[in-house]
Amino acid sequence: MEERRKKTLGAIRRFHLKPQSKPLKNSCPDLARFLGEGDVSDAGRLAEYLSAGGYPFRAKVEEQQKEAARLAQLALAAADGDNPEAPEALYELGAAIYHKQDMYYNFLWAGERQGFNWAGHINELWSEVPEREGYMRGLMNYWHALKCFEGVEKAPRASDELKAEALYSQGLAYIGILEWGQDAEAVFDMKSVQDKIIATYKRFVATYPKSSMADDALLVLYAYTQDRTYLERIIDEYPNGDQVEAARRILCSP
């Protein structure tokens, strides 16, 4: 069942996702100073060491610098109460964060997020410290993206289409948290997160039944509930949708 759920999610997950302005803005000069310290510094020695192993360390830091500048502009635009396009900027910021799994994590792992962040040791040291949960959640890009998407859905100026995108994206962010691993398990009740996924997509289908993503939402609901009536609804209610063949294949399988 678990393998089928993963295959189903793989078939329907849409990475179509289109604040923290001060930290993002401050990171730009910080990265510039880091790059400008030269080969005699710790940064220079680290860059030389990683580059010798085939990892383009300096180029990657330069990419981060450019991305930080872009996201800082989006965060400022999203926070501008007089900007009529603030909801769009907030959504774009959330989408960018969603797609960068290591944005709030550790960049010094050859471009990939490490599988854990010594969560067991953190729990041992911080078991009774309230800040522990905030710290652990803060490592997860999906948690930050979720806050952006929630803000878009609540924004009075957001169009219905953008609110629909934001709600659907909230579900994707919850899926990211569910699949994050040990760090998430340390501070989230995984059963509650799965319940959030189901509740989010139920609300999406009920609120936006005419959306082109409604059949996708139904397929997600099947993936997390194994309730075949969601597949039947895809066929009955969205016969021209892009998930009807997937629904038929699953219904025909044992």
Residues of the chain predicted below pLDDT 70: 1-28, 30-55, 106-130
Contact 85, 11 (CB under 8 A): no
What is the CB neighbour count within 10 angstroms for residue 46?
A: 14
Question: What tens digit of pLDDT does each residue of 127-151 get?
Answer: 666 677 777 888 889 999 999 999 9
Distance (Å, whole) CA 164 – CA 153 = 8
The radius of gyration of the chain's CA atoms, rounded to the nearest angstrom, is: 21
Please, how many CA atoms are within 13 Å of residue 199, restricted to the half-sphere of its CB? Answer: 7
Distance (Å, whole) CA 186 – CA 121 = 11
Q: pTM (2 decimals)? A: 0.80
Return the DSSP state at 209: T
52 contacts: CB under 8 Å, gap ≥ 6: none
Contact 90, 78 (CB under 8 A): yes
pLDDT at 193: 97
pLDDT at 50: 56
Length of the chain: 254
